[in-house]
Amino acid sequence: MIDRLALPADAKPGPNCGLTALAVVAGVTLAEATRVYLRQYPRHPGSNWKGGTRWPYTLQAAKHLGVRYIDDTPLEDGYTIRIVKRMSLKTFVKKHALPGKRYMIRTTGHVQVLQDGWVVDQGGVKHIDEYPGAGKIVKDAVRIK
């Protein structure tokens, strides 16, 4: 795994946040992440597909790329069934993110990678205090082993 957060060499702007996050956590190019993701997708996306992803297939692709992870989605205390606690990405960083650990996080309409208060998506690397998506609500979070 890469020690420092950085975009893949072939990164490009566009609606490809899930593919970019997959490439970052797996340490592969965006093209390789896209190829592996498309193999997991149950039906071929149409010719107008611009790079949008579905979370379950992103996780399957991560496994195929050798990424090991632990589900760290914040849950409500006292419940035995999976009820996600509503919190922003910035709150997740302050209350749940462990130092030195890398996370791939799905928020409302977006996927990004987080480590030590720094966030990377297709727009580049930014500190959480300067990240425009800091207020987005965390839907899923996986801690990369």
Share of the chain residues as helix, strand and coil, in percent rounded to the nearest 5: 25, 25, 50
Q: For the chain, what is the total number of helices (H) and then of strands (E)?
A: 4, 6
**pLDDT 10s per residue in the chain (145 long)?**
346 789 999 998 888 999 999 999 999 999 999 999 999 887 777 778 888 899 999 999 999 999 999 887 776 655 444 446 788 999 999 988 999 999 999 998 999 999 999 999 999 999 999 999 999 999 889 999 9
* Three-state SS at 108: coil
* Three-state SS at 75: strand
